[in-house]
Structure 1
């Protein structure tokens, strides 16, 4: 008796192992939901007063969350078939039941359309969302400031027009291995908010690979060549690139159609707008970018920002820069802790993406 029981248990384990190995998890999930639907249909037929018809909609919701675009349409058809059977076994059909069933068929049709749109991505809804979250986290991590010597304080802040982390502005920062050089680039992709988010996702990865791997004078030309190769209809972007020697404080700043950087001299307490210029990325082949050079001493600071910080409708950008520098002089007087967040919160258009990087030598 015991031997027969053990043999049966081993056989069941072997069968389960074969099913898990050869039947995709999504298929098992769909079959399991369908079997639950059959049980619910039987219960609706046996207890029509206690079991509501819309019980099957719970399965439809679970299927739309967990099933992929190839399996979901068939599952929707099965649920609609079970719903039809549940309606057919009802003793009395009144207007309330007809309205409920009609609503459920409309919901099934909406889920079906959603699955067809989702087939362009090729993954289930939950997986698609997790992929976007992972990409978003990668963008934010690339904008993270690497570890620096104690005398340097660098902060960054980003706000999107839509209030989500997917924005057309992004920051990439790196400290090449074995060097005393900090590289920071602030980029503004054409478009706003989520419309520019997809291009920002791609460019942040590409620029992250180029930054630090190339000499400072080659980064913007390489980024320009990359954008030209994409052939996008709205494939341009503006950028500002800072190269900072952490030992001496010497810096080079290059801009590509971007608002100029501003430098604060601790001795005078005044802000100076740097003169650096270059064409927008993705428009002109073999573009050149002229740097602005200088040196940061103790107490000095640099602001890198996007046009969302200084542009307002019907107002010249130079007036916006003056307003930003006036605000910075008041907010950052002697205290640069949380500087980037404070400036982004106080300035700029809420209808545009905004990014700010503050570099301070303490």
Structure 2
């Protein structure tokens, strides 16, 4: 089971706006301009019934369905109409101020979308699709009856995009899962995460496990991103025997709960510079065997890092949660995340793999 980042505004809203924007821009723009003119006439006729600030709604619709030039035409018309409304003593000056501020905000919004190349509702719909693809790409494959795996990803402050993501692969008795933390957060990190997720999904299972993270490092270096690094933990398990190999690149150390002794072990995979930093990257590696009842937990630094708190203290707190939560079945990733009570200033992700 995989839990994706908290949902952004419902996708059907964007698709409805995209449907309107799909029409010819001159027609859509003319319709909004006509609506603005008619509404202004109604406001001059009965200001107490038709508040002039209602033009803000038309500006908002225009911001989402119109491309840059058509949007400028609508804003210019609203500015002229606002000047006409300002001459009417029945119109509240406060509403005129709201309209002026709204025009400025819409122009700023349009400039940013023009810079990003995201024009109108189709651009917003593309971002919704990017978010959905991140969630779909993080689904974990089915495991045999004696194994259980689940993951959870939470974005900073409940944003639609997360720089943390999961990629998993299973072929017969071989199971691999990668937990990645892309530098930054929010929309920019989410777009980089989507691109990196697709690349890692293609590499996973196609390369020997000892070549996976070096190949991921080469890919990341080739992108030339301004914030071009990421941390990662790559877990490979032989399902019949429970033998595992964990390789890390600048990532917090995974934890293993040994059911027989009740002991929690922090896997000391020394080395492993973050991906995208140096060309000759050698990951830190730890190996072992998961016996029946054992659990291995991967997590990102959002669970253990906090202002004014040492990372080691954060890891100790996480281990206490793992001992209390995971020792008792089902001990899901969601329960681990809830137990840590990490702040929302950073993206957070957990993967829990249990041998039953």
What is the TM-score when the length of structure 2 is the normalising length? 0.82
**How many angstroms does 1:212 deviate by?**
2.3
Q: SS state of the match for residue 119, structure 1?
A: helix
Question: Counterpart in 2 of 1:63?
Answer: 62
What CA distance in whole angstroms lies between the structure 2 residues aligned with 1:38 and 1:216? 65
Question: Counterpart in 1 of 2:30?
Answer: 31
Which string of whole-angstrom CA distances, capped at 9 and with x for unpartnered residues, describes residues 183-237 of structure 1? 1111122234556434323322322222223221211001111221223343222
What CA distance in whole angstroms lies between the structure 2 residues aligned with 1:312 and 1:81? 51
Q: SS state of the match for residue 69, structure 2?
A: coil
* Residue 113 to residue 273, structure 1, CA distance change in 2 (3 Å): closer
Question: Counterpart in 1 of 2:111?
Answer: 116
Asked if residue 276 in structure 1 is aligned to residue 265 in structure 2, the reply is no
> Can you give the 5+ residue segments of structure 2 that lack an aligned partner in the other structure?
1-21
* Residue 170 to residue 51, structure 1, CA distance change in 2 (3 Å): closer
**How many angstroms does 1:295 deviate by?**
2.3
Aligned residue runs from structure 1 range 210-359, under 5 A:
210-277=203-270, 278-337=272-331, 339-347=332-340, 349-350=342-343, 351-359=345-353
* Residue 288 to residue 45, structure 1, CA distance change in 2 (3 Å): closer
**How many angstroms does 1:41 deviate by?**
4.9
Within the candidate set 128, 135, 147, 2:130 is matched to: 135
Question: Counterpart in 1 of 2:17?
Answer: none
**How many angstroms does 1:252 deviate by?**
1.3
Q: SS state of the match for residue 144, structure 1?
A: coil
In terms of mean alpha carbon deviation, does 41-50 or 94-103 score higher? 41-50
What CA distance in whole angstroms lies between the structure 2 residues aligned with 1:80 and 1:309? 49
> Can you give the 5+ residue segments of structure 1 that lack an aligned partner in the other structure?
1-22
What CA distance in whole angstroms lies between the structure 1 residues aligned with 2:278 and 2:97? 57
* Residue 51 to residue 170, structure 1, CA distance change in 2 (3 Å): closer
Question: Contact between 2:118 and 2:124, CA under 8 Å: does it hold in 1?
Answer: no
**How many angstroms does 1:283 deviate by?**
1.4
Which string of whole-angstrom CA distances, capped at 9 and with x for unpartnered residues, describes residues 112-166 of structure 1? 2322222123344433332222211211222221111111100112223322242
Q: SS state of the match for residue 175, structure 1?
A: strand
What CA distance in whole angstroms lies between the structure 1 residues aligned with 2:208 and 2:330? 30
Which string of whole-angstrom CA distances, capped at 9 and with x for unpartnered residues, describes residues 75-102 of structure 1? 22233334445667xxxx3284555334
Question: Counterpart in 2 of 1:3?
Answer: none
Question: Contact between 1:312 and 1:348, CA under 8 Å: does it hold in 2?
Answer: no
**How many angstroms does 1:359 deviate by?**
0.4
Within the candidate set 91, 94, 99, 2:89 is matched to: 94
* Residue 64 to residue 253, structure 1, CA distance change in 2 (3 Å): same
Within the candidate set 162, 170, 183, 1:167 is matched to: 162
* Residue 323 to residue 69, structure 1, CA distance change in 2 (3 Å): same
Question: Contact between 1:187 and 1:237, CA under 8 Å: does it hold in 2?
Answer: yes
* Residue 80 to residue 292, structure 1, CA distance change in 2 (3 Å): same
**How many angstroms does 1:260 deviate by?**
1.6
Question: Contact between 2:156 and 2:162, CA under 8 Å: does it hold in 1?
Answer: yes
What is the TM-score when the length of structure 1 is the normalising length? 0.81
CA RMSD of aligned residues (A): 2.8
Q: SS state of the match for residue 120, structure 1?
A: helix
Which string of whole-angstrom CA distances, capped at 9 and with x for unpartnered residues, describes residues 22-61 of structure 1? x953322112222334444555566677655445444333
Question: Counterpart in 1 of 2:77?
Answer: 78
Q: SS state of the match for residue 148, structure 2?
A: strand
What CA distance in whole angstroms lies between the structure 2 residues aligned with 1:344 and 1:208? 25
**How many angstroms does 1:330 deviate by?**
1.8
* Residue 81 to residue 272, structure 1, CA distance change in 2 (3 Å): same
Pairs aligned (count): 333
